[in-house]
Structure 1
Amino acid sequence: MIASGFFIAGALVCLASVVISVIATIFRNHPDDVAILSVAAVELFLIVYSIAAAARQLGGEALVGEAWEFWGYVFTALIVPVAAFWWAVTDKTRWSNLVLAAVGATVFVMLVRMEQIWQGGVFA
């Protein structure tokens, strides 16, 4: 299996979010706009990914795994950045940045699993 463009784009967005949030943890005592916006970029990617996945599935492209499992991952992944954002705006400490960093790592793992369910192959 060759990684799809969506997977590569998602991996890059997640990596950028993790790096930005870890740097913010090191240098800032509270979540800054850049760290919060990096998590917003992850959420925006997930929205685009879910719309594209729905279009692909409605267009007849079949999943290798179960559809309920794939969509469960998609909906859960959509909730993770929102929860971290809420945490960051209510808890103004250095460690909120680390929570924001966990979003990128968590969503990346979920993207790997979504690729396994969608295509199978090397990631399976």
Structure 2
Amino acid sequence: MTLMFLVGAVVCAGSTVICWVMTALRNHPADSSIISLAAVELYLLFYGVYAAVRQMGFAASIAGEGWEFWGYVLTALLLPVGVFVWAMVDRTRWSNLVMGFVGPVVFVMVYRMEEIWWGSVL
């Protein structure tokens, strides 16, 4: 497991917990849910830059397909942005819940990205 994967797991778990708690407490999108979503996006931006530098440096080549890895990166980057836009349109309690599912989905995507890069995570 890489440090980037562990950081991602913590960020995604934290975002999920915050959003689910805010679903119970708020009738509208909570600022803390939006900030936690931004933290996931920031992590993904950092992960993308890290992956690009790692690939350009030829320190470690991708074990799997490059198009698949970068497809996951781009999709993961678009997910928090799309959910944020949706939450701003549908300003109900349930937007917090939908934002809460970004964390687990991004975690699975990062797990898969690490699997493609290294061949396995564990």
Q: 1:43 to 1:92 in 2, by over 3 A?
A: same
RMSD: 0.9
Q: Following TM superposition, where does structure 1 have runs of at least 4 consecutive aligned residues deviating by more than 6 angstroms? A: none
Counterpart of 2:73 in structure 1 is 74
Q: Distance in 2 between matches of 1:48 and 1:102?
A: 21
Deviation at 1:89, TM superposition (A): 1.1
Q: Which consecutive residues of structure 2, in runs of 5 or more, have no partner in the other structure?
A: none
Which of residues 30, 37, 41 in structure 2 aligns to 1:39?
37
With the length of structure 1 as denominator, give the TM-score of the two structures. 0.95
Percent identical pairs in the alignment equals 55
Q: Is the 8 A contact 2:13 2:103 kept in 1?
A: yes
Structure 2 counterpart SS, 1:121: coil
The alignment covers a number of residue pairs equal to 121
**1:46-85 mapped onto 2 (5 Å cutoff):** 46-60=44-58, 61-85=60-84
Q: Structure 1: where are the runs of 5+ without partners?
A: none
**Residue type of the alignment partner of 2:39:** A
Superposed CA offset, 1:69-121 (max 9, x none): 00000000000000110011111101001110011111001011001101123
1:116 to 2:95 alignment: no
**TM-score, scaled to structure 2:** 0.96
